[in-house]
């Protein structure tokens, strides 16, 4: 199972703020994009999971900003699953421009059903013990 994945994202103009820097909220979006692509790389269809009645909801999200990114920067965004057990998945993130760390982050996801009740994480998403 893949527990670490990275991809490149080029900063689009609309992601910047009045100071010409990436708006802080976009980093959380970058985290979601790389997390979703990691699932796709696993051969896991999030759409199919939702159609089966299971959802991964963000219970916690944090981001620490270390340096600004600007329009047209090519960023490398990585995600690493640090824990997946029971109903929760914890991921850590790093956003780099070349060798410079721009931001780091963490999310805690919970697996729930359509009614919002906690459900076990699908086994395909749990790393081997």
Query: Would you say the C-alpha torsion 116, 120, 121, 124 has a positive or negative sign?
Result: negative
Residue 129 confidence (pLDDT): 61
CATH of domain 4-125: 3.10.129.10
Which of 75, 85, 80 has the alpha carbon at shortest distance from 106? Answer: 80
| Mean pLDDT across 102-122 | 96
Q: What is the mean pLDDT of the chain?
A: 93
Give percent above pLDDT 70 in the chain.
Answer: 96
pTM beyond 0.85: yes
Give percent above pLDDT 90 in the chain.
Answer: 83
Structure tokens at 65: 């900003």
| Model pLDDT for residues 35-72, shown as the tens digit of each residue | 999 988 888 888 888 999 999 999 999 999 999 999 99
Burial class (CB in 10 A: 0-12, 13-18, 19+), 96: buried
Q: Quickly list H helices, 42-89.
A: 46-51
| Mean pLDDT across 76-82 | 96
Q: Is the pLDDT of residue 6 over 60?
A: yes
Note whether 1 and 127 are within 8 A (CB): yes
At 128, is the pLDDT very low, low, confident or very high (cuts 50, 70, 90)? Answer: low
Q: What is the distance of C-alpha 80 from the center of its chain?
A: 9
């Amino acid at each position: 199972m893949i527990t670490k994945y990275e991809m490149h994202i080029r900063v689009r103009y609309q992601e910047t703020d009045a100071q010409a820097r990436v708006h802080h909220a976009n980093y959380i979006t970058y985290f979601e994009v790389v997390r979703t692509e990691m699932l796709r790389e696993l051969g896991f269809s999030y759409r199919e999971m939702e159609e089966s009645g299971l959802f991964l909801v963000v219970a916690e999200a944090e981001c620490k900003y270390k340096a600004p990114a600007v329009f047209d920067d090519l960023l490398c965004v990585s995600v690493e699953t640090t824990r997946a057990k029971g109903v929760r998945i914890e991921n850590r993130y790093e956003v780099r421009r070349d060798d410079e760390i721009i931001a780091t982050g963490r999310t805690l996801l919970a697996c729930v059903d359509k009614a919002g009740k906690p459900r076990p994480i699908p086994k395909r998403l749990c790393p081997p013990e």
